[in-house]
Chains A and B, each alone.
Chain A
Amino acid sequence: MNNDNPGGKTEKSTDILDRKWMDINVPCRAACPIMTDIPGYIKAISDGDYETAYLINRRDNVLPSILGRICNRPCEDACRHGWDGLGEPLAICFLKRSAADYGLKEFAPDIKPNHKKVGIIGSGPAGLTAANDLALKGYDVTVYEQFEEPGGMLRFGIPRFRLPRDIVEADIKSITDLGVKIKTNTRIENVAFIKELQKRNDAIIMAGGCMLPKKLDIPGLDSQGVTWGLDFMMDANRDKLSSSMEKVVVVGGGFTSVDCTRMAHRMGAKKIALSFLFTRDDMTVGEHELDDMEAEGIDFVFLVSPVAVESKDGKVTGITFKRNSVQKDKSIKTIPGSEFTIEADTVVFAIGQEEEDYLPGKKLFAQDNFFITGDFRTGASTVIQAAADGRQIAGQVHRKLANIKEYQDVVTISEVKETGRIRDYDFIPLQPMDKIPLAERAVKEKEVDTGYSQQKSVTEAQRCYLCHYNFQIDIDRCIYCLACIDVMPVDCIKMAKDIHVTDDGNMVPVPAENWEQVQAIVIDNNKCIRCGNCVRACPVDCISISHYSLDVVEKI
């Protein structure tokens, strides 16, 4: 989709070094479990082309409106703009949301049906992604969903103030528009039912998720007022929660536990605390969410282990903890004599989920046409990881059914004249997300983040270095004038005596100690921030820019 230099040279490469270049040099994309073309869509937004940005996401991660709100963003931690001394990482997730907010359009490509049938059990992110991919390849896909609405965790596990209902519906509609059928209120109870499906379909994918809460073995669990994380969220999302809670303690440390605390705030609870076995750093939830919790007045109690639920007349009165200390091997041990009790009328245990075990010996079910994916396969994970797994398994299904020899990564390298960015963009500060005022956040339905305006999204998108550009010095034309080194903003151009290729395919220039050793002036792409200073400074125009993109191709 790159049109920076029509008529410029383009080549396709299957060289392992080019493939590795992409992983190392486009860190956001490599960090994304589903390998979204992040610079691609951010560039589109900076050009004001929201539709292209949306379509890139629709193609790469299937659920852009949803992920643009609730993804846990491993890409942002890897973002080059956030490296030491370079500022803040890009607000990649907020930009994905903008792409969906302003660019969502009908996605109806031409599909040639191949008349093969696939059945998918579960319409969570893994199941939906697998359904999407297979439908695009021409399969006749039916998804069996146990609850009354599709979406799985998306519908029931995540609160509406983070993920509004209509957003979930919009992304799912984009998949059903491809011809995917979703049968709700259909629970696959037992092995016999599965065997029946196997007969009627060319392949079955089990994407049932982890719906069972992990349990603890402590006294008092049967008191009134004790509940489990997912049940709490599902009741909340179905408006079945009672609003009589005043003092709530949530035990956990993952996404669900955080959502429970914030939901409790919206249910009117006055004192809410989140307790966790380890410390704040160990929480998998992102800083921005912890900030939102703090703003909503939620307290944190770290390094504690629950030991008992206290009750009076069968009703919860509090929860007793022991303090933990961290051992050398990073495990925790409780400190003797450190018991203390926090008062509560509601205790929510959100300590993780497990898959339902009703498929005895599910591992033995790895027959020819039975596949498993998502949390059911990997254990509880994140939405983006589940989606990535769904894609991977769908790929295996297709490979099997269409007799494909293998999938091959192909890197397309095209010459461009310029990146379209100016140096001033590198100093634009991170654009903060607008949120609704604190006073309005007690309302259950109201989405807290209001989304970037178009102008703000363009400004934020301009910050992206566009790491998919590769800057190289042509050593045959370089005159060693060092003008490029004179203008480099970071230590990115080296007088090199050699280039060392590491085991993982990374090409690193080895700096020379003196002029005699210098073989070439080399741009260290690992450090390069693609500012273009060197290109502008070079008196002999020997620095070229090429655009790298990645496709996966079927080899029959």
Chain B
Amino acid sequence: MKCVIIGAGIAGVTAAETIKKINKDIEVVLIGKEQYLPYNRYKLTEYLCNVINDSQLYFASFDFFKDYNIKYRNGEYVKSINPTEKTIKLYHNEVMRYDKLLLATGGTQHLGPVLKTFAPFIQTYYTLQDILMIKRKLSVIKDCVVYGENLSNLDLLSGLCNLGKNITYIIKGEKAFFPLLKEEFEKDVHNFLENKGINIIANDKPVCIRKEKKKYSVETLNRKVIKADIIFAWEDRKPNISFVKGADIYKKSGILVNPYMETSARDIYAAGDCTEIYHPTLKNYWINFGWPNAREQGKVAGENMAGKKVPYQIQETLTFNLEGKPIDARWWE
């Protein structure tokens, strides 16, 4: 049997490992868009600030793939899938057959229709390549503009602070707000950021970015103009599922799965940040968030692909803590 896994993040790699642990004779192919070994995305800011090194960043090595006999196709991505023929097509028109397919492509930062036009001027902050590109320019970066109200923005702000950069943070509402923070931190986070020297512009949003000779110029809805060396902006994170277009698989923003991580298409599973699953406590469809959840989903998907029937237990805890470390205790010391 051949299992093909699209996405080499924690969900995908865990699924691959799980399948092999159950039955090492199953052929497993893992396709990852990035050239690098699988790495801990949530540690990227620490890597940017040189708090950790390579060995702490990656969670799987070349030996891992050799030992488990998993074929790792790095630096390639999937263009389309054909559930009827049970094939996938890679971006260079290679057609690969599968018996079982797992979609674990995670999410990407979504720019929104207004900022989409200015994408070439906006630095993405999501992949290892982004971090390495920023590292290259660090010495010439002084002024930064940040827009977006996710936990990843908070993460970014802490990183830029640590690096001693001058930050202007644009927020939509009156006070800075991040989802899923511990209650006591949530109330004070706005003042906390201002005390760290971050210049917050409230009730506003960027609508136009221009490239001038030496700097970028950001114009907001309320006609403020900020000059910056680098701009980080995104509306929210959206599951990375554009390649599913045209295939008969149910999705909302993410791929809809049942508790066995099965999608509506036969023999196709999904796990991690690209999925959406009904969360009874939230009473809403919920796009996976958090490394441990993605890992757990990957494990469950792997078990089900390898022939078992194991449901995914949705974690009851909502307040976010990263790998056991509560968010208010990171890097700000």
Determine whether the beta carbon of A438 is less than 8 Å from that of B264: no
Residues of A within 8 A of B (CB): 84, 279-281, 291-292, 294-295, 302-303, 323, 325-326, 328, 335, 337-340, 432, 437-439
Determine whether the beta carbon of A335 is less than 8 Å from that of B278: yes
Residue of B nearest to A328 (CB): B264
Residue of A nearest to B207 (CB): A438
Report the bound CA distance from A505 to B256 in whole Å.
39
Determine whether the beta carbon of A295 is less than 8 Å from that of B113: yes
Q: Which residue of A279, A281, A295, A335 is within 8 Å of B112 (Cβ)?
A: A295
Residue of A nearest to B112 (CB): A294
Determine whether the beta carbon of A323 is less than 8 Å from that of B285: yes
Q: Can you identify 19 A-B contacts, CB atoms within 8 angstroms?
A: A84-B79, A84-B80, A280-B252, A292-B113, A295-B112, A295-B113, A302-B253, A303-B252, A323-B278, A323-B283, A323-B284, A328-B264, A337-B283, A338-B280, A339-B283, A340-B283, A438-B114, A438-B221, A439-B221
Residue of A nearest to B245 (CB): A281
Inter-chain contacts of B253 with A (CB < 8 A): 280, 302
Residue of A nearest to B80 (CB): A84
Report the bound CA distance from A292 to B223 in whole Å.
21
Interface residues of B in 108-165 (CB under 8 A from A): 112-114, 117
What are the interface flags for B220-232 relative to A under an 8 Å C-beta threshold, 1 for contact and 0 otherwise?
0101000000000
Inter-chain contacts of A292 with B (CB < 8 A): 113
Inter-chain contacts of B278 with A (CB < 8 A): 323, 325, 335, 338
Whole-angstrom distance between the Cβ of B283 and the nearest chain A Cβ: 5
Determine whether the beta carbon of B113 is less than 8 Å from that of A303: no
Residue of B nearest to A322 (CB): B283
Determine whether the beta carbon of B283 is less than 8 Å from that of A338: yes
Residue of B nearest to A281 (CB): B251
**Is B250 in contact with chain A by the CB < 8 A criterion?**
yes
What are the interface flags for B271-302 relative to A under an 8 Å C-beta threshold, 1 for contact and 0 otherwise?
00000001010011100000000000000000
Determine whether the beta carbon of A302 is less than 8 Å from that of B207: no
Determine whether the beta carbon of A326 is less than 8 Å from that of B256: yes
Report the bound CA distance from A438 to B113 in whole Å.
11
Determine whether the beta carbon of B256 is less than 8 Å from that of A437: no
Report the bound CA distance from A292 to B114 in whole Å.
9
What are the interface flags for B239-254 relative to A under an 8 Å C-beta threshold, 1 for contact and 0 otherwise?
0000000000011110
A337-B283, A339-B283 are known contacts; what are 8 more A-B pairs with Cβ within 8 Å? A302-B253, A303-B252, A325-B278, A326-B256, A326-B264, A338-B284, A438-B114, A439-B207
Interface residues of chain B: helix, strand, loop or mixed (majority): mixed
Inter-chain contacts of B250 with A (CB < 8 A): 279, 326
Whole-angstrom distance between the Cβ of B207 and the nearest chain A Cβ: 5
Report the bound CA distance from A520 to B221 in whole Å.
62
Whole-angstrom distance between the Cβ of B127 and the nearest chain A Cβ: 24
Query: Interface residue count for B (Cβ, 8 Å)?
Result: 21
Residues of B within 8 A of A (CB): 79-80, 112-114, 117, 207-208, 221, 223, 250-253, 256, 264, 278, 280, 283-285
Residue of B nearest to A303 (CB): B252
Residue of B nearest to A340 (CB): B283
Determine whether the beta carbon of B221 is less than 8 Å from that of A295: no
Report the bound CA distance from A195 to B112 in whole Å.
56
Whole-angstrom distance between the Cβ of B70 and the nearest chain A Cβ: 29
Inter-chain contacts of A328 with B (CB < 8 A): 264
Inter-chain contacts of B208 with A (CB < 8 A): 437
Whole-angstrom distance between the Cβ of A334 and the nearest chain B Cβ: 11
Whole-angstrom distance between the Cβ of B196 and the nearest chain A Cβ: 29
Report the bound CA distance from A294 to B251 in whole Å.
19
Whole-angstrom distance between the Cβ of B125 and the nearest chain A Cβ: 21
Report the bound CA distance from A337 to B79 in whole Å.
38
Inter-chain contacts of B113 with A (CB < 8 A): 291-292, 294-295
Q: Which residue of B112, B207, B280, B285 is within 8 Å of A437 (Cβ)?
A: B207
Whole-angstrom distance between the Cβ of A278 and the nearest chain B Cβ: 9
Residue of B nearest to A330 (CB): B250
Whole-angstrom distance between the Cβ of A55 and the nearest chain B Cβ: 34
Q: Which residue of A279, A280, A340, A438 is within 8 Å of B284 (Cβ)?
A: A340
Q: Which of B112, B117, B250 has the most CB of A within 10 A?
A: B250
Report the bound CA distance from A553 to B206 in whole Å.
57
Whole-angstrom distance between the Cβ of B221 and the nearest chain A Cβ: 6
Inter-chain contacts of B114 with A (CB < 8 A): 295, 438
Whole-angstrom distance between the Cβ of A331 and the nearest chain B Cβ: 12
Top 9 closest pairs, chain A to chain B, by CB? A291-B113, A295-B113, A326-B250, A338-B283, A279-B252, A295-B114, A438-B207, A340-B283, A294-B113
Determine whether the beta carbon of A337 is less than 8 Å from that of B280: yes
Report the bound CA distance from A294 to B221 in whole Å.
15
Q: Which residue of B117, B251, B283 is within 8 Å of A279 (Cβ)?
A: B251
Determine whether the beta carbon of A303 is less than 8 Å from that of B112: no
Inter-chain contacts of B280 with A (CB < 8 A): 337-338
Inter-chain contacts of A84 with B (CB < 8 A): 79-80
Inter-chain contacts of B251 with A (CB < 8 A): 279, 281
Whole-angstrom distance between the Cβ of B121 and the nearest chain A Cβ: 16
Whole-angstrom distance between the Cβ of B205 and the nearest chain A Cβ: 9
Determine whether the beta carbon of A303 is less than 8 Å from that of B117: no
Report the bound CA distance from A326 to B117 in whole Å.
34
Whole-angstrom distance between the Cβ of A127 and the nearest chain B Cβ: 36
Whole-angstrom distance between the Cβ of B147 and the nearest chain A Cβ: 14
Whole-angstrom distance between the Cβ of B314 and the nearest chain A Cβ: 14
Determine whether the beta carbon of A303 is less than 8 Å from that of B285: yes
Whole-angstrom distance between the Cβ of B317 and the nearest chain A Cβ: 20
